[in-house]
Chains A and B, each alone.
Chain A
C-alpha cells in the first residue's frame, strides 16, 4: 500500500467549497491537487444566492464575513460568474412576519449590515410584480447572486492547482485511495465533497436535504431583488417534513429562478411533480403573474445539512492530516470564501479572521484524539 505524494494538499470535491479552499491554499504558495468525481453536487444545482442569514450569531458572523469577502472578490470575477449585488427583499405576509422583519432589521443593523425596512405599499413600488396586500419587507442591500459553477471554475484556474477527474474510494488521514486502487498522499487532505463526504467518513452527521428548482424563460425586468418570504425562516428552515417557501431570484439573463423546497430522507434525484407544484404555488401566492410565465427547466439537488445548520470546518479530531469543509447546507456558495479563510488559517496555525469555534467538527465528532 505505498502511496505517491501528489501535492502539498489534496482537496476532495471541486464544488464551490473545494474550489475556494484550493484557491486560498494555492494563493499561499501550496501545490494543491483537486479530485472530483464529476457528480455535479450542490454547487451545480443551487441558486447562487449570496445572503446574510441570522438564525444564530455564528451563522450571521460567517455569512456576513463571507459576503464582505465576495464583495472584495467581485471586481476580479469574470462576467461568466454573473455576480450581481441586487439585494434580498424579505417579504412579510402578515403582522407576525413583519415583527420578524423588524427584529431581523435591528439585529443586522447592529452588526453593520446595510438594510432597510420597507412598509406596506412601498413593497410593490420596489417590486411591482408582487401581489397587493403584503405587510412589508426587509431589504438587505448588499446581498447578491452569482453563477457558482463558473465561479468555482474560475477559482480552480489559480496557479498551483491541479485538477483530476477521479472518484475517491477511501480516506485515511492524509492519504486517499482512488477508484483505480492507487493511493495518493499529501501533507493534508481536505474533504469538501458535500453529501458524498459520508461515503468516506460515515461518522459525519450530514444528511442530504433535497431541493427542487425551476427556471423560467427570459422575462427581463420582471423582478429586481431576490424575493424570499420571511416564512422561509420558520416553514422551510426548521421543519422536518417536506416544506416549501417562496424564493424568486432574477438572473442577469432575465430568467427567474424559482425555489425553494426541502425534503429529508430521500436521495432520489428525480423531479417530483407534487413537490415542484407546491413550491411553484407558494411562489405564485406572492407573485400571481408568475403563473403565466413559461418554466423551461426543473431540477433537483441535495444540500449537505448538519444537525445545527452550521458547517464543519477544521481538522478531523480522530484522523490526523484530514481536514473537513462540509455540511454547508444551503449556504455553501455564500460561505465559501469564509470557509476557505477559516480552513487555511487553521491549517497554517494562524488566528482565523473570525472565531473558528462554532464551526469546529469537534462539536459532533468529539475531542481531538491526535496531536
Chain B
C-alpha cells in the first residue's frame, strides 16, 4: 500500500494503482496545463496521447503507465 506525495500532499493508495488514478484519488484528476492554458487530464489511458505526463521524482513521465510507489514525489504542472 504505497504512500506517495502528490503536489506536496501525502496520499495513500492501493497497491497497483497508477499515478493517473492517483491524480483523481488525491486531487482534481488533472495532470497538466496546455499550451493555451487549459487544464488537462489523462485521455487515452494507454501511453499514447501524452496528456498525462507529470513530474515523477523529478523526471517527466506518463502517469498512466507508472505505478505508485512508496516515497514517490508526483507533481502536476500548474
Please give the residue numbers on chain A whose beta carbons come within 8 Å of chain B beta carbons, in ascending order.
217-218, 253, 292-294
Contacts and interface: CB of A to CB of B under 8 A. Distances in A.
Nearest to A289: B58
A292 B35 contact: no
A253 B35 contact: yes
B59 A292 contact: yes
Name the prevailing secondary structure of the A interface residues.
Answer: loop
Contacts of B35: 218, 253
Nearest to B53: A217
Contacts of B40: none
Nearest to A293: B60
Interface string B14-41: 0000000000000000000001000000
B53 A292 contact: no
6 contacts: A217-B60, A218-B35, A253-B35, A292-B58, A292-B59, A294-B60
Contacts, number: 8
B27 to A, nearest CB: 21
Contacts of B58: 292
Contacts of B53: 217
A217 B53 CA distance: 10
A260 to B, nearest CB: 24
A175 B29 CA distance: 63
B5 to A, nearest CB: 19
A289 to B, nearest CB: 10
A253 B59 CA distance: 19
Nearest to B58: A292
B24 to A, nearest CB: 23
A294 B53 CA distance: 11
Contacts of A293: 60
A218 B77 CA distance: 11
Given A217-B60, A292-B58, 6 more contacts: A217-B53, A218-B35, A253-B35, A292-B59, A293-B60, A294-B60
Nearest to B59: A292
A222 to B, nearest CB: 12
Contacts of A253: 35
A116 B4 CA distance: 47
Closest 5 CB pairs of A and B: A294-B60, A292-B59, A217-B60, A292-B58, A253-B35
Interface in B31-78: 35, 53, 58-60
A293 B35 CA distance: 18
